[in-house]
Amino acid sequence: MGINRRGFIKIAGLSTLAGLTGKATLGVLAEEEAQQVVQTGEMLKAKRWAMVVDLHKCQQKKGCTACIDACHSVHNVPNFDNPKDEIKWIWKQDFEGAFPSQDHEFLKADIRQSTPVVFCNHCDNPPCVRVCPTQSTWKREDGIVMMDMHRCIGCRYCVVACPYGSRSFNWRDPRPFIKEIDPDFPTRSRGVVEKCNFCADRLARGKIPACVEACEEKALIFGDLEDPESEVRELLRNNITIRRKPSLGTNPEIYYIV
């Protein structure tokens, strides 16, 4: 015997109802298992993190590498003797290399001969983020250009895209080349790109970046660019500052007082 129209509609309606409530019930059950996460109060937050480097103060002590040592030790950055394999988060660059468009023959000698500390500029318009095919690098809401090493496939597009040389590729296993491993931060594996993360890991624990903390001359000043009362804004108001390769339109957020 066949089914009549009325019977069919009844069955269809009932099964739809069962399907809907069934899904809802599953949803409620799943909800119960969902994990709860909270933000802790100690975290340092800003609308737009930025850094000011006072070149005069930075150059006071010749050959000082306090910021570099501090950064590289807390982030387990390896030290390869071969410059081809070099990994760097923060390093010293000659003035011409750091600011090619600002350099000229008759520039003030102390500025021209300086070796500014350079690192990731945490650009407002980061070219590395645009080229990353796996979105393993992205710009956070507070402006930090972050790396997710778990997703990096080692294609090195970002290394090519970055006009500041801020990104290094792990050609070799870095572990044997780390003098002392800090257990609080992971190392990297062979085949991923790494760079300065503006100490996002330390900010989350309420600490300022390691390089800023290590600089005795207070040449590195870290703060919120969107806050008009912040120290960085104060310095930017009262000093002449330059940025690295601004004509490229990347909008770097590291400012150098000259």
* Least distance in angstroms from the C-beta of 152 to another protein: 11
* Least distance in angstroms from the C-beta of 147 to another protein: 9
Of 71, 109, 85, the C-alpha closest to 196 is 71
* Least distance in angstroms from the C-beta of 202 to another protein: 12
Rule CB under 8 A: is residue 149 a binding residue for another protein? yes
Q: Which amino acid is at 223?
A: G
Give the footprint of another protein on residues 165-204 (CB under 8 A). 181, 183-184, 186-189, 200, 204
**Identity of the residue, 153 or 160, whose beta carbon is nearer to another protein in the bound complex:** 153
Phi, psi of 201 (to 5 degrees): -65, -35
Rounded to whole angstroms, the Cα distance separating 150 from 244 reads: 30
The answer for residues whose C-beta is within 8 angstroms of residue 102's C-beta and 6 or more apart is 95, 242
| Binding flags for another protein, 19-48, as an x/- string (CB under 8 A) | ----------------xxxxxx--x-----
* Least distance in angstroms from the C-beta of 38 to another protein: 5
Cβ density class 199-212: b for 16+ within 10 Å, e for less? bbbbbeeeeebbbb
Q: Please count the residues of the chain.
A: 258
* Least distance in angstroms from the C-beta of 187 to another protein: 5
The residue count for binding another protein (CB under 8 A) is: 23
Which DSSP letter does residue 163 get?
A: T
Apex 22 CA angle, 19 and 26, nearest 5: 140
Please classify residue 120 by burial: count the beta carbons closer than 10 Å to its beta carbon, then call 0-12 exposed, 13-18 middle and 19+ buried: buried
Of 186, 167, 212, the C-alpha closest to 44 is 212
* Least distance in angstroms from the C-beta of 45 to another protein: 9
**Identity of the residue, 192 or 220, whose beta carbon is nearer to another protein in the bound complex:** 192
**Identity of the residue, 3 or 37, whose beta carbon is nearer to another protein in the bound complex:** 37
Q: Which residues pair with 241 in a beta bridge?
A: 257
Q: Judged by CB under 8 A, which stretch of 14-22, 57-65, 141-149, 207-215 contacts another protein?
A: 141-149
**Residues lying near another protein in the complex (CB under 8 A):** 35-40, 43, 138, 140, 146, 148-150, 181, 183-184, 186-189, 200, 204-205
